Structure 1
């Protein structure tokens, strides 16, 4: 397959039945997302030994995650114009190589600033990968199977989100945080090899300038799609970042039971990834409405009946399922409004997602401190309901 070339206009002509080589190419993209997202979330399980080794507070050490997200949001705006007419396979392999180098630098860092530099490199690699993912997957599997293809990519994300913090904590106890960080470089190296072997040549079309990205925002479908990302993702992170204190204070679960509830969330999110792909390919407006409604119901039910253990477990899992569908549905929804500019719409998706994460976490924190632990969940329910309204207004594709 490495000798095959898929031009930019191959999006619409890709076959509906996937060949073995197509499967391998999509899996290589999923492997890359797993490796990079694992590295992104790994510090959650490494903060204590990392902070002690570098002589900094745990709060300061936690800023390595902020650095990754912040650099990624800025880099996403310039990603498409920076890569110009480079072959997209070359770019993807290069991004994996950057992730390898960044993780090695972080693992070898002798002070906090070198650690931040390594994490900034990871942010660039992540933003580049996400900016290109929808366009590359559409060229591999065809636009009519975009949701299905993206669902496989996001299975890698869900697995990384579940595994990285816990495995990182275990590895840091056994072999040290630096070795655990270096292990993510190994995962990125495996992904890079898979990309080299299985991805076809992906020649670029016309280069995308920064002005083209901003002009795309003039389309009604793009505006509604971006607003849907901002509302749903802000609501999710405003609420779910603080679901642990809710479960501890309202449901009165011990830490061990909270861990089981969050594991249920993670497993349900993987199922949501798979379902989200089918939903998005069948009817994107209905998929967006279903995602917003389900997440809103889960958040509101926790506020109303979350004091009961069984109810709390069930609706936390339902929340996981809903947010498992969300990235695939939101990405596919935005992409269908810009089938002629998938890379540019991918950049807008990354920027909106990162901004929503930051806003949601900050606003949720203020509500928790000023009102109650149930407040952020109420906000999540309200913003999810507004997403349902956007789904109704969304143009038919």
Structure 2
């Protein structure tokens, strides 16, 4: 049940992080700003999260990880409440900056917390349960928030998110045991993922694979509509297929990662590269579109649990430092991948963006292949 409370935390955090995507026009109109300016609600938390992970792991010292997670959960409640009553954009951005601390902190501390809750050999499976909250948020949380916003207003969506976050806080307060760290993480410990060959390979794989994924994923809907000629109803269905496949992929990855994490990472990179290169060269029809959504979703579901397990097993004595740097790597790769994909789409079109993304995933697969020599 303690692991389940972390999974609910992942669901609440990711739902809050991406909720503006579904309510952006409504918020922009209500606060009297352009949609481009309102997009800062999505950009700013990612920037803060990239910095927050390493900063919080050092600042927390030997504080009990239970207490740290509870503070982060309380901050998530406050962020959603402030967003729900925000009278202007500045107040909204303050709320979203608070969220950035929650995102960076949660994904830094939650993986290490599972080590206190389950035996070492069950940790990858426990992480798959926590990461399943991400898929559920993508499939259900964000669309539900958008639907509620269209029915009764965007402030209600943030209000409900605040309520969900409060329930998560109560559950964690009741279920999480004391989780003292083995030692405090010092600033110089953050260099160990960069100087340890196996951990460095995990970080490089993450940068190339996540950048490639988001260079393409940002334009998944236009890909299905324009290249495959699918109606909005069919596209919505395939997006649900993508999310459901990712949900199942997360559990499969959790089971396999405990046996051979490098093989899981290699499989994920090759599947992402293959499906993106397929999307770059083959177009037209619902069958091809469904194949892309199914394979891509399944492959991406493998990635977070594989990369987290890879980093933690590479730095067993400094897992918190490794996870903090990995969180930063994820955030940097997401931002750079989305930006790079946008530039390519604007100048060369969606197929070229898919091809570039596939090439980045192939580089990631090559890094994993080289990492087998480091075992």
TM-score, normalised relative to structure 2: 0.97
Name the counterpart of 1:69: 46
User: Do the aligned partners of 2:18 and 2:42 also contact (CA within 8 Å) in 1?
Assistant: yes
Name the counterpart of 1:353: 330
Relative to structure 1, is the Cα distance of residues 261 and 216 closer, same or farther in structure 2, using a 3 angstrom cutoff?
Answer: closer
Name the counterpart of 2:141: 164
User: Do the aligned partners of 2:80 and 2:95 also contact (CA within 8 Å) in 1?
Assistant: yes
Q: Distance in 1 between matches of 2:161 and 2:133?
A: 14
Q: CA deviation at 1:143?
A: 2.7
Q: CA deviation at 1:128?
A: 0.7
Are residue 380 (structure 1) and residue 360 (structure 2) matched?
Answer: no
1:173-322 superposed matches below 5 A: 173-322=150-299
Are residue 54 (structure 1) and residue 38 (structure 2) matched?
Answer: no
2:91 to 87, 109, 114: 114
- Size of the aligned set, in residue pairs, is 374
Query: Residue 62 of structure 2: SS of its match in structure 1?
Result: coil
Q: CA deviation at 1:146?
A: 2.2
Moved runs in structure 1, 4+ residues, more than 4 A?
none
Q: CA deviation at 1:270?
A: 0.5
User: Do the aligned partners of 1:151 and 1:276 also contact (CA within 8 Å) in 2?
Assistant: yes
Q: Distance in 2 between matches of 1:82 and 1:63?
A: 27
User: Do the aligned partners of 1:45 and 1:164 also contact (CA within 8 Å) in 2?
Assistant: no
Q: CA deviation at 1:385?
A: 1.5
Q: CA deviation at 1:134?
A: 1.7
Q: Which moved more, 1:36-45 or 1:299-308?
A: 299-308
Q: CA deviation at 1:356?
A: 0.3
1:124 to 70, 89, 101: 101
Relative to structure 1, is the Cα distance of residues 216 and 248 closer, same or farther in structure 2, using a 3 angstrom cutoff?
Answer: closer
Question: Which runs of no fewer than 5 residues in structure 1 stay unpaired?
Answer: 1-23
Q: Distance in 2 between matches of 1:337 and 1:328?
A: 14
CA RMSD of aligned residues (A): 1.2
Q: CA deviation at 1:221?
A: 0.9
Query: Residue 340 of structure 1: SS of its match in structure 2?
Result: coil
User: Do the aligned partners of 2:229 and 2:285 also contact (CA within 8 Å) in 1?
Assistant: no
1:100 to 54, 77, 81: 77
Deviations 1:68-103 (A, max 9, x none): 111111111201111111111011111100000111
Name the counterpart of 1:33: 10
**Greater fraction helix:** 2
User: Do the aligned partners of 1:95 and 1:129 also contact (CA within 8 Å) in 2?
Assistant: yes
Name the counterpart of 1:330: 307
Q: Distance in 2 between matches of 1:174 and 1:302?
A: 36
Q: CA deviation at 1:282?
A: 1.2
TM-score, normalised relative to structure 1: 0.92
